[in-house]
């Protein structure tokens, strides 16, 4: 038994000496200050007068407007759009919200979209993308409210344009005299 204990003691001592003689050196380094920052989409708009870059902002008012209109009157205007963010966009959503006052039935269904085109290097006929939700046989602001449109944003950088021609439909009757439609068009840029 003493022999076994002696051998065990000697093995333990040898392992301890051998293990300490095989120790490895170590060194560490760090990587600090790693930052993860999200990019941005930043849609700017100006009324389509062209040229003046300083006129781009976060919103415009009275882009399409007619006062004292009668059936058959038309207005043609456009807005320019630009992504000033750091990320490219893939599409632009277009929707309308209409507030009708002093007219019955809804006067926005009598404001026909005669033509509308989106240009971003490629021309897209916006009017063709709007469904006739109210079934009156033409595309109008009421339809645009019911059917928001998604447009391709193929070219990043540069100016994109949306033009629209709106007509107070020739068959608008006496029930629309003195009526008002206030429309808000919202443009949403999508990555």
User: What is the pTM for the complete model shown?
Assistant: 0.79
Range in 35-44, 47-56, 68-77, 150-159 the model is least confident about: 47-56
CATH fold for domain 43-62+69-190: Jelly Rolls (2.60.120)
Higher pLDDT, 101 or 74: 74
pLDDT confidence band for 1 (50 / 70 / 90): low
Task: Quote the CA–CA distance of 60 and 9 in Å, as a whole number.
Answer: 91
pLDDT confidence band for 3 (50 / 70 / 90): low
pLDDT in tens, 57-74: 998 887 888 899 999 999
pLDDT attached to residue 79: 93
Determine contact, residues 128/118, Cβ cutoff 8 Å: no
Task: Quote the CA–CA distance of 100 and 58 in Å, as a whole number.
Answer: 25
Query: Which whole-number Å values give the CA distances from 112 to 56, 66, 151, in the listed order?
Result: 28, 13, 20
């Amino acid at each position: 038994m003493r022999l076994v204990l002696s051998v065990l003691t000697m093995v333990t001592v040898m392992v301890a000496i051998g293990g300490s003689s095989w120790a490895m050196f170590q060194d560490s380094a760090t990587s600090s200050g790693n930052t993860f920052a999200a990019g941005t989409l930043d849609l700017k708009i100006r009324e389509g007068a062209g040229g003046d870059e300083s006129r781009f902002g976060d919103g415009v008012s009275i882009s399409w407007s007619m006062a004292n209109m009668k059936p058959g009157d038309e207005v043609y205007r456009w807005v320019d759009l630009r992504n000033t963010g750091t990320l490219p966009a893939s599409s632009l959503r277009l929707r309308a919200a209409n507030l009708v006052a002093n007219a019955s039935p809804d006067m926005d269904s009598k404001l026909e979209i005669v033509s509308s085109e989106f240009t971003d290097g490629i021309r897209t006929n916006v009017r063709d993308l709007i469904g006739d939700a109210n079934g009156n046989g033409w595309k109008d602001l009421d339809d645009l409210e019911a059917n928001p449109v998604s447009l391709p944003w193929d070219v990043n950088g540069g100016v994109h344009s949306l033009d629209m021609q709106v007509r107070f439909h020739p068959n608008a009757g006496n029930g629309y005299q003195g009526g008002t439609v206030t429309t808000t068009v919202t443009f949403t840029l999508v990555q």
